[in-house]
Amino acid sequence: MKSEDIPALIRELRRRLDLTQEQFAQRVGVTCSTVNHWENGKRTPLPFLVKRLLEMKEELDARDDKPTTRRPPE
């Protein structure tokens, strides 16, 4: 993944999870300041964290792609 794509990935994940930077930081195991720097392109995550972020995106994509089993209205 290109480093210039990281800020967009972070924003997308936070938006889809409906998390603040602080909440997202806790979930990932970093500080809020670190998430802020990632989103603003000042820093890039270490490779193992990039991998984890991509896994989070894949999990969300898979969840969103699953057909919902809804009962038809009666």
pLDDT digits (tens, 9 = 90+) for 43-66: 999 999 999 999 999 999 998 887
pTM of the full predicted structure?
0.79
For domain 3-60, give the fold: 434 Repressor (Amino-terminal Domain) (1.10.260)
pLDDT bin (cut points 50, 70, 90) of residue 31 is very high
Tell me how far apart the alpha carbons of residues 32 and 73 are, in angstroms, rounded to a whole number. 44
What is the per-residue pLDDT for 67?
A: 66
**Domain layout of the chain by residue ranges:** 3-60
pLDDT tier for residue 19 given thresholds of 50, 70 and 90: very high
